[in-house]
C-alpha cells in the first residue's frame, strides 16, 4: 500500500487571541492558508479608511480606475469633503452622493490610492467560505466566515432594492460596513453592511452596488419613487386578483392624493406589476420618480384605472 503523504495543518482563528464561545476555528492546509494570505493582500490594495469630522469612520473600497471609492451612506451623509487613508498614504475626497436605503456612499479621490479589486463572476452558494476584510483604521483586519443564509431579491426597510439576500456568520465590528468579502481566489463576492437590518451581517451583491453607484454618479442619489399611502395586504378571493393592497391612509399633498386615491381603495396593479404586498409596491416604485404610471384599483367593488406620478422619496 502506498505511503500516505503527511499534510501540514494550520489552525487559523478569525481574530487574534483565544477563541470566544461560539467562535469558529478553521483548520486548513498550507496551500489553503497561502490562498487566503493572497486574498488578504488584495484587500490591502483595495480597501481604504474613510474618516469624517465628529463621527466614526468607515471602510471603503476603490471602484473603477477614476478614483471612485464606495463606502457607507452614514460616513458621507451631510459632508461635502472628507479624508481617505490607505496605510500611511492619504487623500482628500469629494462626496458625490449616497443612498441611505442601501447604505452606499460614493466619493472621488484627489490623489490615487491602491488598486480596485476584481469581482467574482460566480454566485456564492450557501456554506461558501469567505474572507471578510475591513479597514477600521490605517491597518486591514481580516476574518474567515461562511455564507450562512441566502434569499431572493428583497427591499430594505427604507425601500432600497437588493438583488439577492446574502447573510454571513460574521459578527459586525467597528469598520465592518463598507468592507469586502473575498473568495479564496482573491475575488470579491460582496460588500459588507450591518446597517440595513439592525446589525445583521449582510453582503451586497455586485449588481446592487453597480446600479446604485451608477445612479449616484448620474443624479447624486437613487431616484426612488414615493406614492404617499399606507397599505395593508388583503385577500380578495378573486381568481384574477387573489391579493391586493388596502389603502389605510393617504398623505396630504402626496402623489396618491393628487391621483385621487381614497382610504378604502384596494390597489391591484401598477405598471403591469401585481401589487400583492408592500414589497411589490416598493419594487414597482423603484426608479419611477417623475414618471406617469398606470394604476388599477378597486373602489366600492368596481375596478378603476388612474394615472399616478410618484414623487421623490426622501
pLDDT tens-digit map of 239-290: 888 999 999 999 999 999 999 999 999 999 999 889 988 888 988 888 788 8
pLDDT over 80 (residue 89): yes
Domain ranges of the chain: 26-221, 225-312
pLDDT over 50 (residue 102): yes
Count the neighbouring beta carbons within 10 Å of the beta carbon of residue 25: 11
What pLDDT score was predicted for residue 208?
A: 97
Q: How confident is the model at residue 44 (pLDDT cuts 50, 70, 90)?
A: very high
What pLDDT score was predicted for residue 314?
A: 60
What pLDDT score was predicted for residue 1?
A: 41
What pLDDT score was predicted for residue 52?
A: 65
Q: pTM above the 0.75 mark?
A: yes
pLDDT over 80 (residue 55): no
Mean per-residue pLDDT of the chain: 89
C-alpha cell at 180: 469586502
Which CATH superfamily groups domain 225-312? PDZ domain (2.30.42.10)
What pLDDT score was predicted for residue 21?
A: 54
CB-based contact 136:151 (threshold 8 Å) = no
The more confidently predicted of residues 7 and 303 is 303
Instruction: Provide the CATH number for the domain formed by 26-221 in this structure.
Output: 2.40.10.120
pLDDT over 50 (residue 18): no
Percent of the chain topping pLDDT 70: 90
pLDDT over 90 (residue 168): yes
CB-based contact 26:36 (threshold 8 Å) = no
pLDDT over 70 (residue 205): yes
Phi, psi of 284 (to 5 degrees): -70, -25
Q: Characterize 217-245 residue by residue with b for buried, 16 or more Cβ atoms within 10 angstroms of its Cβ, and e for exposed.
A: eeeebbbbbbbbbebeeeeeeeeebebbb
What pLDDT score was predicted for residue 259?
A: 95
Q: Do domains 26-221 and 225-312 have the same CATH topology?
A: no
Q: How confident is the model at residue 22 (pLDDT cuts 50, 70, 90)?
A: low
Read off the pLDDT of each residue in 56-72 and give the average, rounded to a whole number: 91
Read off the pLDDT of each residue in 101-116 and give the average, rounded to a whole number: 95
Report d(CA 125, CA 134) in Å as an integer: 22
Q: How confident is the model at residue 210 (pLDDT cuts 50, 70, 90)?
A: very high
What pLDDT score was predicted for residue 23?
A: 56
Amino acid at each position: 500500500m502506498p505511503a500516505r503523504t503527511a499534510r501540514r495543518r494550520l489552525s487559523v482563528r478569525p481574530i487574534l487571541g483565544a477563541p470566544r464561545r461560539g467562535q469558529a476555528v478553521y483548520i486548513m492546509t498550507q496551500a489553503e492558508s497561502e490562498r487566503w494570505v493572497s486574498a488578504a493582500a488584495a484587500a490591502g490594495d483595495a480597501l481604504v479608511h474613510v474618516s469624517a469630522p465628529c463621527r466614526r469612520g468607515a471602510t471603503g473600497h476603490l471602484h473603477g480606475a477614476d478614483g471612485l471609492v464606495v463606502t457607507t451612506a452614514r460616513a458621507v451623509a451631510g459632508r461635502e469633503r472628507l479624508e481617505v487613508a490607505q496605510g500611511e498614504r492619504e487623500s482628500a475626497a469629494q462626496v458625490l452622493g449616497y443612498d441611505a436605503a442601501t447604505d452606499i456612499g460614493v466619493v472621488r479621490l484627489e490623489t490615487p490610492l491602491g488598486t480596485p479589486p476584481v469581482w467574482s463572476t460566480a454566485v456564492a452558494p450557501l456554506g461558501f467560505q469567505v474572507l471578510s476584510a475591513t479597514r477600521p483604521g490605517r491597518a486591514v483586519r481580516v476574518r474567515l466566515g461562511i455564507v450562512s443564509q441566502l434569499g431572493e431579491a428583497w427591499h430594505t426597510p427604507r425601500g432600497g432594492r437588493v438583488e439577492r439576500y446574502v447573510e454571513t456568520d460574521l459578527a459586525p465590528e467597528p469598520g465592518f460596513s463598507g468592507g469586502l468579502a473575498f473568495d479564496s481566489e482573491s475575488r470579491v463576492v460582496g460588500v459588507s453592511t450591518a446597517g440595513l437590518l439592525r446589525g445583521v451581517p449582510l453582503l451586497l451583491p455586485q449588481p446592487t452596488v453597480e446600479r446604485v453607484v451608477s445612479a449616484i454618479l448620474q443624479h447624486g442619489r437613487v431616484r426612488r419613487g414615493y406614492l404617499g399611502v399606507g397599505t395593508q395586504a388583503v385577500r380578495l378571493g378573486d381568481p384574477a386578483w387573489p391579493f391586493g393592497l388596502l389603502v389605510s391612509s393617504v398623505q396630504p399633498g402626496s402623489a396618491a392624493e393628487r391621483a385621487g386615491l381614497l382610504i378604502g381603495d384596494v390597489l391591484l396593479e401598477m405598471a403591469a406589476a401585481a401589487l400583492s404586498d408592500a414589497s411589490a409596491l416598493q419594487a414597482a416604485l423603484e426608479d419611477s420618480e417623475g414618471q406617469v404610471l398606470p394604476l388599477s384599483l378597486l373602489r366600492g367593488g368596481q375596478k378603476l384605472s388612474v394615472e399616478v406620478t410618484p414623487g421623490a422619496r426622501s
